[in-house]
Amino acid sequence: MNSKISTIKGFVALLCLAMVLAACKKKPEGEITVTTKPVTNITETSARGGGNVSYTGAFTIGAGGICYGEAPNPTVYDVYTDDSHGTGDFVSEISNLKPNTKYYVRAYANTSSGLIYGNEESFTTKNEMWLDYGTSFNTCWGLTDGGTLTWAVMFPVEVLSSYAGMKISKVRVYVGESGSYTLDIYEGGEEAPSNKILNKNNTFSYEGEKEITIADAIDLNASKNLWVAFTKTHSSGQYPAGSSLGKNNPNARWRSVNAGSWLNSLSNGWKDLCWCIKVYVTDEAKGEEYEIVFP
Q: What gap in Å lies between CA 257 and CA 207, rounded to an integer? A: 22
Answer whether 91's CB lies under 8 Å from 50's CB.
yes
Share of the chain above pLDDT 90, in %: 54
pLDDT at position 260 is 97
State the Cα angle at 123 between 62 and 36, rounded to 5°: 25
Domains and CATH numbers, the chain: 30-124 (2.60.40.10), 139-293 (2.60.120)
Residue 187's closest CA among 148, 159, 228?
228
Tell me the range of 16-20, 77-81, 184-188 where mean pLDDT is highest: 184-188
* The pLDDT value given to residue 159: 82
pLDDT of residue 29: 65
Write the pLDDT tens digit of every residue in 134-172.
667 889 999 999 999 999 999 999 888 878 888 888 888
Q: Quick one: how many helices (H) and strands (E) in the chain?
A: 1, 21
> Do 105 and 121 meet the contact criterion of CB atoms below 8 Å apart?
yes
Kindly report, residue by residue over 42-61, the tens digit of the pLDDT.
877 889 999 999 988 888 88
Rg of the chain (C-alpha set): 32
Q: What value does the mean pLDDT of the chain take?
A: 84
Whether the pLDDT of residue 192 is over 50: the answer is yes
